[in-house]
Amino acid sequence: MRSWPAPPVPSLPAAGLPAADHQGDGALRLYDTASGSVRPTAPGETARMYVCGITPYDATHMGHANTYLAFDLVNRVWRDLGHTVRYVQNATDVDDPLLERARETGQDWRELADREIELFRQDMVALRILPPDVYVGAVESIPLVVEMVERLRGKGAAYEVGGDVYFPVAADPAFGTVSRLSREEMGPLFAERGGDPDRDGKKDPLDALLWSARRPGEPYWDSPFGEGRPGWHVECSAISIEYLGMGFDVEGGGSDLVFPHHEMSASHAQVATGKRPHAKVYVHAGMVGLDGEKMSKSKGNLVFVSKLRRGGTDPMAIRLALLAHHYRSDWEWTDSGLEAAGARLDRWRAAVARPSGPAAAPVAAEVRGHLTDDLDAPSALAAIDRWAATPGDDPDAPARIRALADALLGVAL
Ligand code: 5CA
Ligand code: ZN
């Protein structure tokens, strides 16, 4: 599938040491859900990242934008540290919610998916989110999924229930190590997030669907285990290991994907390949809400990026409104937050239009220090606020701060 065009990224003076030297201190450190601690990432020259993409049945809302922005910071910080970044993202372009929405609204599911993916691309371009190197849909990845299910079947890690194929979680001794949840905690989340704990014939209520048998009126594909379509978790397992291999640096998504999605994807991949781990670090962005509830397509309480853009909101103000919150916190979208971001954008633009300002190098060091420390964007913004509010006589500083905000924060001034 087509990705989207990349915005230019200025390279900053005195950017990081060669990537190979970033073993500890200088490295990007991120909170890892699986270990419950902040850990250094990407020791190698190439940093490899997989981020779960949208299910394209509605437009990009602020929750999505916040999650993709968090991983855009990871991408930008790694590049600044001298890494080459290999970034892979999927789009779940066939799944229950998409087919339901298409049915309800009388649209062709493929047209709905294509249209929403195109709108997502435009939103990502407007927000200056760096594109994935591989942007790939579930439909075009069906041969990979079939191959993966075959591998699992070959290892005795798949069984049939009425034509559907399930993954027995008992096959993975490491099951549970991504989310670190107890079985009691897993049950309700599994049911809430697409699982079917009560299905008769399953060996364990938590066993996950790998392949869903053909149902009347729904799209299907042929496979050695019958006509049907892929389960959700196996889509991200198959795509991530095809394009990144096992043990890639970061797997990312919103915190609603910790369990079951990232847990199951890791288990499928680990059992199919006999290797561990699926990802070295599992990183999760907080949930953005509106009026006390998680913003979600199913709840319908949405603020869309495209709608604000059409109303004339500067996408850089949207970006700053999101960056004002730490990526791991749960927070509520408000009009006043957006207004404050617009005012900050005006202040920064006025400050970089000055003939001179305070020296840029200490600000760059501060911004880098905050971002490498688990992406502390709010503190990075505060450092630029202080620069903007202080007079100075360095004539090079305004252009340097402009490049700094662009390269590391993705904010074009
Ligand atoms: N296609 C799957 C992932 S393979 C999916 O979860 N799609 S989604 O469209 O529902 O969400 C896309 C991304 O946005 C996911 O990483 C999800 O965790 C994140 N996300 C969804 N809602 C919110 C929210 N309210 N706040 C923050 N992130 C969110
Ligand atoms: Zn996913």
Instruction: List, in order, residues 6 or more apart from 95 with CB less than 8 Å away.
Output: 55, 138, 232
Residues facing residue 51 across a β-bridge = 89, 252
Query: 94 and 229 in contact (C-beta within 8 Å)?
Result: yes
Instruction: List, in order, residues 6 or more apart from 221 with CB less than 8 Å away.
Output: 142, 146, 227, 228, 229
Q: What type of residue sits at position 409?
A: L
The closest-lying atom of ligand 1 relative to the alpha carbon of residue 289 is 25
Q: Compute CA distances 333 → 287, 296, 345, 356, 369, whole Å.
A: 10, 13, 18, 35, 27
64 lines ligand 1 (CB under 6 A): yes
Report how far residue 367's alpha carbon sits from residue 15's, in angstroms, rounded to the nearest whole number. Answer: 12
Ligand 2 centroid from CA 236, angstroms: 5
Report how far residue 234's alpha carbon sits from residue 261's, in angstroms, rounded to the nearest whole number. Answer: 9
Closest ligand to residue 262's CA: 2
Element housing 3 (H / E): none
Ligand 1 centroid from CA 398, angstroms: 37
Ligand 2 is a single-atom ion; what residues have CB below 5 A from it?
52, 236
Per-residue pLDDT tens, the chain, 413 aa: give them. Answer: 999 999 999 999 865 555 545 445 579 999 999 999 999 997 789 999 999 999 999 999 999 999 999 999 999 999 999 999 999 999 999 999 999 999 999 999 999 999 999 999 999 999 999 999 999 999 999 999 999 999 999 999 999 999 999 999 999 999 999 999 999 999 999 999 999 999 999 999 999 999 999 999 999 999 999 999 999 999 999 999 999 999 999 999 999 999 999 999 999 999 999 999 999 999 999 999 988 888 777 777 889 999 999 999 999 999 999 999 999 999 999 999 999 999 999 999 999 999 999 999 999 999 999 999 999 999 999 999 999 999 999 999 999 999 999 999 999 99
With a threshold of 0.95, does the pTM exceed it? Answer: yes
Query: 306 and 189 in contact (C-beta within 8 Å)?
Result: no
> Longest C-alpha distance within the chain, in Å?
75
Ligand 2 centroid from CA 77, angstroms: 23
